[in-house]
Structure 1
């Protein structure tokens, strides 16, 4: 706990002592060692999906806690290989990506069908694979910022994956096509026994006005709600840093109670509203770790993990902060994130 206090610095009291007065924790379905049996087994998921989810929860340093720490490395497509790996060329090699996830104690490694397929016979039985099905590639000019399918669910199943993931750019002109594609893919994945993760990201230039409302609690919350409607088992979302997107952009429908009673300006309350939109936690919320910014990465990652855990979230999925540094430092960063979820003194707000 002392190292966590040190990393949180002046915010330690605000983040560790805060108690939510918005949505009480008693209303949430919280993570725990029995999450699959207590929550998922009551759904329409078949026994093979339950086994896949249990496999994810049973791996790595967070095994049997109900929390997840995942290494995602699809940035070679999403941000270009050069932009992602030039600072650490070892990660042009897929094997080093998987090694970092294993040695870093992660529950799973998430990457492209190419990366995971290249080393599947050596590693698919050693760490759960999460195959990302669609991507936004940045070589087409001009960029269109559109998620397109790169892999089939059957291909992910054949290489030994236990889960698939996809991104939808909610709010974009292409989102309705993406919704249809992902809905069909997730139906197939569940039939084959694979768990489904959905990156519920917002993407529209109109969402930037006086602030960047791509990370507002109300808009990301609604994206989460659409994601669980598609039967995603786990929602990946950027942690909310502001609120009032509906009001600022002046579109769609909301309710004053969202801002007056169900959320506040406190970061834990903003994240709590994101959890609430994941069927009150019946689908787990994992927050993304964000871009690497150098020496502050470790403190930022721990801060994000504390907010997620205390809000009722299920974990963190952190990539660039881990792989854009030497292996030993990447392992340390992943372990420090996991330490937050292992620390019994960090409780639900």
Structure 2
């Protein structure tokens, strides 16, 4: 993949760059280990990994506050970590343990933490869009200057509820960002076949909002675009849409045979579209950070993931009486 350096935009200090690297590296290590644990049988149900898309979640959430909201997809671990959700609580949740963020009741596709503004991963394709429109309406009504971000895949971009959500956000001029992560496949169906216009951002723009396409493997490009969109939303400028072109290193789910992909495709993508490799190469070339600092983060992240696994495996499952709690909100 031929890249050009991101044009002038936000400037980052060393602390911010190391924070970005730590977040991306944590997501990658977390997902790698989740895949391994799933294959061992320690994780129930299905799980969908975010590996290769780390730059998007990281860049988006670095522009947000805890008081801002995000809505996720079935592939939500990366979004959760980037928004600040506790890694140990997440892993316990995915394993169905009582110490999980949702007491083991949500699992991989429904992990959530409202204290961090994470409205939840969502097993309903395109399901986060109306939730984030609601969060945006709340922010506008209460005058909080809050922003909500709906993460949507290329498959989810075709859902009718997403179209309705974009239209309503424009009509009401809500502070919502529709963040499309185009990884090339909606389950096993190629983007080029399923999206008639072949242009998700162009289609979103037709609803009457600013929309653009960016290289989703370039943290700096995503951050720059999101920064503009978020600032516009906070200042009352209404919704925006961004289509980040990316890929996924794994299948739709762990265990997916991926017969719809060409031979050698994933290996080539790992060589040419690894967002973490691109980030590291750039910051080292710019002498923004040292290799030693990055290696220290690697060691700390690996230790954190190991601790998280050990604690989650040792944690108890929810007691039977917990079955009827947290089902309905009581006002």
When normalised by structure 1's length, the TM-score is 0.33
